[in-house]
Each structure stands twice: as C-alpha cells, then as structure tokens.
Amino acid sequence: MLLFDAHLDLSMNAIEWNRDLTQPLDAVKQREAGMTDKIDRGLGVCTLDEMRKGQIGICVATQIARYVAPDSPLPGWHSPEIAWSMTQAQLAWYRAMEEAGQMVQITDAESLNRHVRLWQNEPPADAPIGYILSLEGADSLVTIGHLERAYAYGLRAVGPAHYGVGRYAPGTGVEGGLTSLGRELVVEMDRLGIILDATHLTDDAFWEALDLFTGPVWASHNNCRALVPDQRQFSDEQLSALIERDAVIGAVFDAWMMHPGWQRGTTTPQDAGLKIERIVEHIDHICQLAGNTRHVGIGSDLDGGYGTEQTPMDLQSIADLQRLTTILADRGYSQADVEAIMHGNWIRRLNEIWSEPR
C-alpha cells in the first residue's frame, strides 16, 4: 500500500551525516562502521531504496539548520547566514536527486495527483520519490523576506520552532511564546499560503500561532501527551484544536515519543519491549478525540538524528512501516481507514489546501 510519510530529514542525513541515500542501506552502514561522531552511526534505517521497498512514494522532506547563540548548549550554526547557507546546500542535494531521477518535487495539486497515480499503478522499481519541501525550525530565514524566496523554490510548509530557543519561536525543552519576528513570520506565511507545522511549538507559542494564523495547519510528527507525558507531545486540548482546524497529525516513531519514561541514551527498545504496534495507541487516541480517522497519518521522523538505538525493536528499515497495514487491520480498522492513515488523509488535505484560493 502507498505510504505517505510527512516528516523525513533526508537532506540533513545527506549533507550533515554525509550519507549517500542512493546506496543500499547495508552499504551506508558499512561506510559508517567504526565512526563515532554521531550516536546513530551504523544504525540508520532510511535510504531511498528502502523507501521504495516500503512503498513510501511520497514524503514531506525537510530543510533544517538551527542558529545557536554563544550560550546555547545545543549544536547548531553560529549565524543565521550560515544556517541559511546550510539549507541551500540541502536544497542543492534535493535538486541533484531530481537530476538523477531519484526524487521529484511536488508543489501543487497537479504534481501531487500525478505522482499519486504513478505510485498507485504498479510503479517501476526505480520510481522517483515525490517530496513536498518543509522547513523545520525557521532560524535559517535570515529575514522575513527570505520566506518568499524559499516559497519561490518550492517551500510549502514551515515549523517555526525546533529544539530550544529560536529566533522565531521557542521549541521543545523551553517555554515562552512567539518572538516579535515569529509573529511577523506567521502573518507572512498566511499571505503566501504556506502551511503552518505546529510540531515542536511550546504550549504558549502553539496557542499564539493558531490565533494569528488563519491558513492551513498540520502537525507533521507529533504524538499524544496523554500517553507520553512530556512537553514535546500535544495535550488533548491541543489535539482537539488541530482537529477543529482540519489538521492531520503524523504519528512519529522516535521511541522516546512512543514510550513513557524513556531515558534517551539509557533505555533500549529491548528494555522497553517497544514494538511498532505501540504507535497504534497514539493513533487510536487521536481517532477517539476526532470521532473518525480523518486526522491522523504517518510522520515517522526516522533517521531524524537517531537510529535503531531509539526505534521500535522490530523496525530495522523504514520499509518495516508497511507492517502497519496488518497491525491496524488486526486492531479493527477497516480497509478504508487503513488507507486513510497510510496515505489518504495527507493527500486529501493537501488537495484541499492547494485548491483553496489564498
């Protein structure tokens, strides 16, 4: 079954992790044998071939580059201009993948539906992966004017926050509302018709952004605070607000967002007995809040700075996400509901967004 994954940091893996995603997964792991600069060296699960094996024919793919102040404990870039340059290197990688026939950019309803038809009608073994470009954390936008430049090259969604203090919005691990720049950004996103990705926003920034922003909203990779109590997850009140805005929420497979009490760097998937099926608890929870299956999809975030040390124990490749079709069916979801969760909700919502006059 076609799977639409709404959050993959593909270009980050290529440009910062120096992973050749056109190679087989085993080759990528072998190339990283003995490397220690990243905690997930040799533990990745995502390449373009593995995506094809798992019928992940469409994704939301990110640009990401954090600016960090001198007193920040987080890794990142020392000026917004350097961060912008990193996102442009990431964009260049996507363009190189397009030239090689590995990927194709999706920017509107026509290109979306053309690509859906390709993947739902026995695609060739080397079919390109379709991607919608998103910016995770807005720090790299040197000025508000850079947003329109990014829209021109295909940027269609922005999450103002990531981790820590941000130039536009605080994110995971800190508190506070949008900055003055962040309020300007949200208004400009509205004008351009760019989707607001609420993922990573603090509670205060979440409510402020939803009040300011009248356009389409989604949460590309977010689980439920009721099941995993942490600021990173959304509360039932926040999830209900997103549902009221006709948002889709992507279930994320980072283990610490799936399993309560997970200690990063200490807990292992085996210790927690964590398997793919655990995500259905989060999917169920959102469906119960909504009263239907229209507001949940997949936003795996696989290889988003972690590997199999922090994924379900039965997930060794992103292709293993395809097991969800059976897991959901066994939990009583109808065929139509499974299709909605695997791809239909994201495709429907994008068609609605891109058909509405701005």
Query: Domain coordinates of the chain in residue numbers?
Result: 4-355
pTM above 0.75, yes or no: yes
- Distance, in Å, from the CA atom of 132 to the CA atom of 279, rounded to the nearest integer, reads 24
Question: Does the domain spanning 4-355 belong to CATH 3.10.690.10?
Answer: no
The predicted pLDDT at position 356 comes to 80
Cβ atoms within 10 A of the Cβ of 264, count? 12
Residue appearing with tokens 């080397």 = 126
Q: What is the pLDDT of residue 324?
A: 98
Residues 6+ apart with CB under 8 A from 186: 160, 178, 196, 209, 212, 213
Q: Which two tokens stand for residue 84?
A: 């912008």
Amino acid of residue 335: Q
Residue 358 pLDDT: 65
Q: What are the angstrom distances between the C-alpha of 69 and each of 66, 75, 79, 99, 140?
A: 10, 10, 8, 37, 13
Angle, alpha carbons 183-158-39 (nearest 5°) = 120
Residues of the chain with pLDDT under 70: 358
